[in-house]
Structure 1
Amino acid sequence: MLSHTLENGVLVLALQDDPAAGSRDRLPTLISDLAQVHAPVPVVIVLGAEATVSVIDAVVRAHGMCRSLGILVSVATPCASARRRLQAAAAAQGGGLVVHARTDTAITTAYATVV
């Protein structure tokens, strides 16, 4: 479901597939908890091409939780429609979520913001 690694001073959280219904409810808290443990390290959440609306909603909620803690969160997904949904949902909650098409670009950009 969710794996995490540190790459170039960035916490990379990869969501391999759509979690079960109960796990979706806990996903924002899990992401926020991992971000808090590694703070002030920036976070990049990597979604696959099959990101569902419920996963996108969970990521946007996690972004809001992390933003309130001063933790930089960005997302990488190759799916253009998922990027548009992420940006629209984040804008509705105050914005500030940077969404990338490529994971390497997201990690490089996140690292550059804290150096």
Structure 2
Amino acid sequence: MLSHRLENGVLVLTVEDAPGLREQNLAALISDLVHVHDPTPAVVVLGTVVPDEVIEAVVEAYRRCRRSDVLISVATPSAPARRTLQAQAAAQGGGLVVHARVDTAVRTADATAA
């Protein structure tokens, strides 16, 4: 499941456990919400255990949104997920900002967009 809210001028998208949610569906949901709120910066929040399918979906959503120049970041306490996200984004040209904490990600996105 994907929930969203606006916090300090930042679109915060929280990915929660969603058995059966396919990678392409999640990527489409994320990218659609980012496009609808364009030019608002977005932070995708992931949990402590991040399945490979979710990482792939986030990277795919980031790829879909790159043309719009919207700042997209990810926040997850999972160090392995952060490393994987950074590596996969770097393979596509980089630019995805990955944080360990949600509050840091939101503050940084807000400050960068200002």
* 1:1-115 map, 5 Å: 1-21=1-21, 23-115=22-114
Task: Give the count of matched residue pairs.
Answer: 114
Q: RMSD of aligned C-alpha atoms? A: 1.0
Q: Secondary structure at the match of 2:77?
A: coil
Distance 2:53 2:105 in 1: 22
Any unmatched runs of 5+ in structure 2? none
Give the TM-score normalised by structure 1: 0.95
Distance 2:6 2:85 in 1: 23
Whether the 8 Å contact between 1:66 and 1:72 is mirrored in structure 2 is: no
Whether the 8 Å contact between 1:3 and 1:15 is mirrored in structure 2 is: yes
Q: Secondary structure at the match of 1:105?
A: helix
State, as a whole percentage, how many aligned pairs show the same letter. Answer: 61
Whether the 8 Å contact between 1:10 and 1:111 is mirrored in structure 2 is: yes
Any unmatched runs of 5+ in structure 1? none
Distance 1:71 1:114 in 2: 9
Give the TM-score normalised by structure 2: 0.95
Report which stretch shifted further, 23-32 or 8-17.
23-32
Distance 1:42 1:90 in 2: 17
Whether the 8 Å contact between 2:73 and 2:98 is mirrored in structure 1 is: yes
Letter matched to residue 69 of structure 2:
G
Shift of 1:24: 2.2
Distance 1:18 1:49 in 2: 15
